């Protein structure tokens, strides 16, 4: 008799999460997994939520991504321990030399597949292979045949505050964001308020939750072609403001800076 694996007080939920991340990163659809296991797509979805899951089924799911069960366990523990890990200053400096490469790493870490990114940005095969090979050489991904990858950084990996990648983001993206700011656009808002230090901490936590919620909304659109979805930038910031200076500021003056 096959006994279903229980999720309570076990590592099963973490293992399933790692499996789903692997399927996404390799561009493997639930339909593909269903064909490999000779079951329905609905059954695969049940397995990946922990229902009717046995050791045999879990091993079969692992084979779809060329892993043994022990490999999945090691990978799952590695991801759990390194989701918010910081990459080294040396690696940051190398990534900052190639802005598009660093953007690819960011998007790969968020679950976008190499094939989707290659299609969206119309990257030639040889060029895409070079990007992935570089990330593999830097120890940020593990590259497999047919440009399939395993991430070796977490979804929310950290970078140095004010370091090479943050400066790159400011110079390559944020400046342009405001340079082409359209005051008539509908998708922006502005406000200010007075915060204590304790309230600032709560506001920072809220901003993190807001960005996470936006990513969750975008999750279902990851694989849509460019005819059905377009890339949007998100910039959220709390910044000191000198409201009192508006008493002497007049239209036509240079913008006030704190």
Instruction: Tell me the CA distances in angstroms from 187 to 28, 172, 217, 233, one per residue in order.
Output: 34, 21, 16, 11
d(CA 252, CA 118): 45
Which of 256, 112, 89, 86 has its CA nearest to residue 167? 89
Cα–Cα distances in angstroms (integers) from residue 146 to residues 114, 137, 201, 239, in the given order: 10, 17, 45, 45
| Angle value at C-alpha 80, between 75 and 84, nearest 5 degrees | 120
- The CATH number assigned to the domain with range 12-82 reads 1.10.260.40
The CATH number given to 84-180 is 1.10.10
Angle, nearest 10°, between helix axes 55-64 and 69-82?
80
Structural tokens at position 155: 């979804």
User: Residue 9: its pLDDT value, please?
Assistant: 38
Question: Would you write out the chain's pLDDT as a tens digit for each of its 258 residues?
Answer: 455 565 543 568 888 888 888 888 778 899 999 999 999 999 999 999 888 888 899 999 999 988 888 888 877 766 554 555 778 899 999 999 999 999 999 999 888 889 999 999 999 999 999 999 999 999 999 898 888 888 888 777 888 889 999 999 989 888 888 888 888 888 888 888 999 999 999 998 898 888 888 888 888 888 899 999 999 988 888 989 888 888 888 877 776 554
Q: Domain boundaries in the chain?
A: 12-82, 84-180, 185-247
Assign 195 to helix, strand or coil.
coil
């Amino acid at each position: 008799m096959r006994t279903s694996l229980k999720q309570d007080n076990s590592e099963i939920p973490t293992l399933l999460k790692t499996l789903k991340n692997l399927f996404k990163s390799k561009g493997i659809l639930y339909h593909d997994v269903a064909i490999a296991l000779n079951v329905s797509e609905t059954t695969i979805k049940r397995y990946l939520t922990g229902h009717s899951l046995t050791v045999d089924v879990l091993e079969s799911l692992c084979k779809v991504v060329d892993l043994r069960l022990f490999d999945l366990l090691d990978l799952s523990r590695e991801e759990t321990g390194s989701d918010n890990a910081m990459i080294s200053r040396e690696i940051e400096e190398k990534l900052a030399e190639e802005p598009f490469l660093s953007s690819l790493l960011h998007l790969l870490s968020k679950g976008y597949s190499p094939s989707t990114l290659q299609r969206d940005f119309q990257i030639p095969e040889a060029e895409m292979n070079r990007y992935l090979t570089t990330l593999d050489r830097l120890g940020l991904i593990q590259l497999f045949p047919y440009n399939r990858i395993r991430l070796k950084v977490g979804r929310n990996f950290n970078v140095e505050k004010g370091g090479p990648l943050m400066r790159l983001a400011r110079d390559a993206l944020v400046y342009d964001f405001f340079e082409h700011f359209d005051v008539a656009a509908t998708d922006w808002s502005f406000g200010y308020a007075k915060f204590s230090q304790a309230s600032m901490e709560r506001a920072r936590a809220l901003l993190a939750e807001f960005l996470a919620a936006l990513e969750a909304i975008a999750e279902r659109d990851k694989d849509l072609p460019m005819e059905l979805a377009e890339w949007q930038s998100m910039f959220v910031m709390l910044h000191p403001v000198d409201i009192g200076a508006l008493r002497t500021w007049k239209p036509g003056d240079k913008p006030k800076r704190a």
